[in-house]
Amino acid sequence: MKLNGKIALITGGAAGIGLATAESYLQEGASVIIWDVNEDAGNKSIESFSSFKTESAFQKVDVSDFEAVTKAVNEIKERFGRIDILVNNAGITMDRSLMKMDPATWQKVIDINLTGVFNCTKACAEIMVQQGSGVILNASSIVGLYGNFGQTNYVAAKAGVIGMTKTWARELGRKGIRVNAVAPGFIATEMVKKMPQNIVDGITGKTPLGRLGYPADIAKAYVFLASDDASFITGITLSVDGGLTI
* 222 carries an active-site annotation: no
pLDDT attached to residue 100: 98
- Please report which helix (H) or strand (E) contains residue 60, including its range: strand 56-60
75 by Cβ neighbours in 10 Å (0-12 / 13-18 / 19+) ranks as middle
Which DSSP state fits 189?
S
Can you give 31-45 as a three-state secondary structure string? EEEEEECCHHHHHHH
Mean pLDDT for each consecutive 10-residue tract of the chain (246 residues)?
A: 98 97 98 98 97 97 98 98 98 96 98 98 98 98 95 98 98 98 93 80 93 97 98 98 95
Tell me the DSSP string of 208-226: TTSS-B-HHHHHHHHHHHH
Quick: pLDDT tens for 113-154.
999 999 999 999 999 999 999 999 999 999 999 999 999 999
- The residue annotated as part of the active site, out of 25, 146, 154, 222, is 154
What is the DSSP pairing of strand 134-139 with strand 7-11? unpaired
Domain spans of the chain?
7-186+214-239
Number of H helices, E strands in the chain: 10, 7
Amino acid sitting at position 34:
I
Which of these, 192, 13, 162, lies nearest to 85 by C-alpha position? 13
3-state secondary structure of 131: helix
> What's the confidence (pLDDT) of residue 195?
75
- pLDDT of 193 reads 75
3-state SS record for 54-95: CCEEEEECCCCCHHHHHHHHHHHHHHHCCCCEEEECCCCCCC
Fold of 7-186+214-239: Rossmann fold (3.40.50)
